[in-house]
Amino acid sequence: KQEVTQIPAALSVPEGENLVLNCSFTDSAIYNLQWFRQDPGKGLTSLLLIQSSQREQTSGRLNASLDKSSGRSTLYIAASQPGDSATYLCAVRPLEEYGNKLVFGAGTILRVKS
């Protein structure tokens, strides 16, 4: 059974700092990996999608990498801002014959202090 772990569970940084969020998964047989942002009491906003054949994806100040063989992904946020404060969720799409579900980690709660 695929399991996803995110470290750290919570992170507090001063504005302007570069930071890294970590995600690990137990089974390397995946279609893709997605990073999401969730504001308190809200739905999920997709940030980046990395297909299993890709090594990284970039969008603005965000860069996500994928090392499928070691079961790891990182989300790098450059020059953090108070507006980046949210919960960041990592999810993998396991290779299965049927279904298309995402398996999520519990998330990293990020607070960027001004």
Give the footprint of other proteins on this chain (CB under 8 A).
Answer: 4, 31-32, 34, 36, 41-46, 49, 51, 89, 91, 93, 98-102, 104-107
Q: Which of 77, 64, 105, 108 is nearest to 15 (CA)?
A: 77
Q: Please state the closest distance from residue 32 (CB atom) to other proteins, in A.
A: 6
Q: Please state the closest distance from residue 9 (CB atom) to other proteins, in A.
A: 9
Q: Which of 31, 23, 34 is nearest to 71 (CA)?
A: 23
Distance of CA 73 to the CA centre of its chain: 7
Choose between 31 and 76: whose C-beta lies nearer to other proteins: 31
Choose between 14 and 60: whose C-beta lies nearer to other proteins: 60
Q: Please state the closest distance from residue 92 (CB atom) to other proteins, in A.
A: 11
- Residues with Cβ < 8 Å from 51, sequence gap 6 or more? 31, 32
Q: Please state the closest distance from residue 40 (CB atom) to other proteins, in A.
A: 11
What's the residue count for the chain?
114
Choose between 14 and 98: whose C-beta lies nearer to other proteins: 98
